[in-house]
Structure 1
């Protein structure tokens, strides 16, 4: 694409030097490749769901890895479904190579960044609000009248990366009122629910007022009073202050979640967590206020925090299938009744704290020989029901194949030991 633009003269319309637009094109193509790689993860799951034939799976996975998916109808359909071709909403940005910029400190100790301008051999100098000089390839974004300078740093040199991880193995469950709850019953990031609720309620009131002002402006424009409509739009419906406050809120939420992940790493050498990249369709419709407060984007931040902190701190992150972990009793495995933050087990007659119960189930799921990471939720439900029935009727395990027997010997079914634990707990 870069060479084609050079030949047909498309690059002349950009109005910037060749080094700048070439790096920006390379960055955009890398984003497209990353988006496609993310879609391939979903397509692989669809392949495993479609067929159990090892030969057919191997053929389809090989075609997907070699980017020959367009020739297979199923792969082409699944790739088109999951490859959304995302839209980049960041404008006025440019990528600057490491050898194209430099920094200098003036007599007052202020740091300035010099980058190539639109004219050859002309540099643009940008004052920085830090004393640390950016290094490597830079991404410059003009946003809200300010220049943002983005660059990469070595995570291993960060102060938090020098903290050793613990030596325990814990399961963690993502929550709303707190970021994470571990299998020991400890809650981490307890201010998350307060941050999300207060910001959600504030946005509801602010959007209500903005909608009323927008209605007044539209009515004035229909009457021909365009001056009034413009005054309302300029003075009352701006986005600079709104976007700045939203960025501060996102930063506070990220800080709370990353701090919670660090506290989990303080005690754990192995962190067992649910696969937060998988979406589950809700069975019941929640209220509008609840939908607004749940803030689905925090799930991605939590997944990012667990992955990033585990890599920096040296702890192992194990993903497990989260189906029914918040609805099954960790003692007997029976599906209970969930009501808010409480889970009532009708078999044990015990009311558990729902997040702690889910964290224990997630920890136990790591050693489960029957429930894999991508086992469909309906199959998980059937497995849990079969275990409950066998436990209630005291029947032996039905599958006596050598492979299954060996797996069960290495990973004993915890639900079969629930009776002894029940007696100890009582």
Structure 2
């Protein structure tokens, strides 16, 4: 696993930026051609080397007017993106195969074809891939990929670091001043934004200070949240500033869009009256995207910092972190207001999933995904379904009021090692299992399966996190 670091250009000459922008535009055409020709079924099983050889044979590469190393690296990068697009679809197709047939031999045959990228040979697999894989299209025209042996760095007499990369012309380099004294290494990805260049490169995470921090020794369940990033099964909230951060940004965007809509209406009215000069001035000076993009990038950075800090705090005390799979999509059935829908739309569960995975790998802890169906609706004490109201869960059977996130985190931890509710158990089956267990608990019948948490684990949940339901 590698960690991405970003350096920035420092007071880059406008002429150099224009030359880089032209190179990125031409390489964007290369990406578009790769997606158009090989992003469909016809490109299944092809490698970037095979695409390169085809383009060299038919002369396709000549129409882009860029150096060979530049377009070859762009082809490789685009083919990697296409492969990732197909891999995401294969996850859903594997689930469809399990529902389609229970014959082990047939499942093995379909899985083998899917893994070998020969799914186009089977009509059922081809149909499922068309259903679950959306045809991609290139929208990237501001990036340059530079191979590791095609760039170099040098510091001037003032200690300023300069990065030299190939230009559009052979044996001519574009030298970019950097705002760091750490030289980027390996393959570089240059992203051009608003007159600045971002240099993305990867480093070994073992060299990072946070990777040297040891993980804890306990097993902890965590529940994602909106007000706080994570709540663990010990009742501790981590990343408590996340909710305020997301709410403030959502409300700011709402007000900004309201003002922009007013200005857009004024510009349209001016254009209707024939005052095109006024309309153009408003669009140029008041409806641009440069400031909006800078603010969005700053907000994303703050959110990532809050979430990664919360995950580090969890790993500080856990050698095993039990969590739900946040990469899966979910849809709530409860209708919400427009403001809440807007805030949840900006909710960063993808960042939380990334943080849990990366931090656990770097610091040596184990991340275990469990089936989280109904963990926020079931009492972790007796297993009965309770009444959820805000951040409280009232159990009508045992009369206890839980803090909802703490209760969910305990339920997530109890799912660890549960043989009945595996990660892929359908939620309807999970509900039946939970109701059956609750009925046995109410009738005081002995539990005959091995899915309940051990007595030692249940003892770790004292009633300090609950209040009496009086």
Q: Same fold (TM over 0.5)?
A: yes
Question: Aligned equivalents of 2:289 and 2:234: distance in 1?
Answer: 44
Match in the other structure for 1:180? 230
The answer as to whether partners of 1:196 and 1:295 remain within 8 angstroms in 2 is: no
Tell me if 1:53 matches 2:103: yes
Q: Secondary structure of the residue that 2:117 maps to in structure 1?
A: coil
Question: Aligned equivalents of 2:447 and 2:376: distance in 1?
Answer: 25
Sort the Cα spacing of 1:110 and 1:414 in 2 relative to 1 into closer, same or farther, 3 A.
Answer: same
Tell me if 1:215 matches 2:256: no
Match in the other structure for 2:43? none
Instruction: Let me know the Cα RMSD of the aligned residues.
Output: 2.2
Q: Secondary structure of the residue that 2:163 maps to in structure 1?
A: strand
Match in the other structure for 2:243? 193
Structure 1: where are the runs of 5+ without partners?
Answer: 399-404
Sort the Cα spacing of 1:396 and 1:74 in 2 relative to 1 into closer, same or farther, 3 A.
Answer: farther
Equivalent residue in structure 2 for 1:143, among 193, 199, 216: 193
The answer as to whether partners of 2:224 and 2:231 remain within 8 angstroms in 1 is: yes
Equivalent residue in structure 2 for 1:384, among 434, 439, 443: 434
Structure 2: where are the runs of 5+ without partners?
Answer: 1-50
Sort the Cα spacing of 1:77 and 1:360 in 2 relative to 1 into closer, same or farther, 3 A.
Answer: same
Question: Aligned equivalents of 2:165 and 2:462: distance in 1?
Answer: 69
Equivalent residue in structure 2 for 1:246, among 281, 285, 296: 296
Match in the other structure for 1:166? 216
Instruction: Give the CA deviation at 1:85.
Output: 3.7
Aligned length: 414
Match in the other structure for 2:278? 228
Q: Secondary structure of the residue that 1:166 maps to in structure 2?
A: coil
Match in the other structure for 2:179? 129
Sort the Cα spacing of 1:423 and 1:202 in 2 relative to 1 into closer, same or farther, 3 A.
Answer: closer
Instruction: Give the CA deviation at 1:59.
Output: 2.0
1:33-75 deviations in Å (ceiling 9; x for gaps): 1221122122112222333332222222122112222233332
Q: Secondary structure of the residue that 1:172 maps to in structure 2?
A: strand
TM-score in terms of structure 2 length:
0.84
Q: Secondary structure of the residue that 1:27 maps to in structure 2?
A: helix
**With CA pairs under 8 Å and 6+ residues apart, which has the higher RCO, 1 or 2?**
2
Sort the Cα spacing of 1:88 and 1:296 in 2 relative to 1 into closer, same or farther, 3 A.
Answer: farther
Match in the other structure for 1:359? 409
Tell me if 1:319 matches 2:378: no
Please identify, of 82-91 and 319-328, the stretch whose mean Cα deviation from structure 2 is larger: 82-91
Question: Aligned equivalents of 1:172 and 1:73: distance in 2?
Answer: 42
Question: Aligned equivalents of 2:388 and 2:140: distance in 1?
Answer: 42
Sort the Cα spacing of 1:422 and 1:306 in 2 relative to 1 into closer, same or farther, 3 A.
Answer: closer
TM-score in terms of structure 1 length:
0.92
Question: Aligned equivalents of 2:375 and 2:123: distance in 1?
Answer: 36
The answer as to whether partners of 1:176 and 1:192 remain within 8 angstroms in 2 is: yes
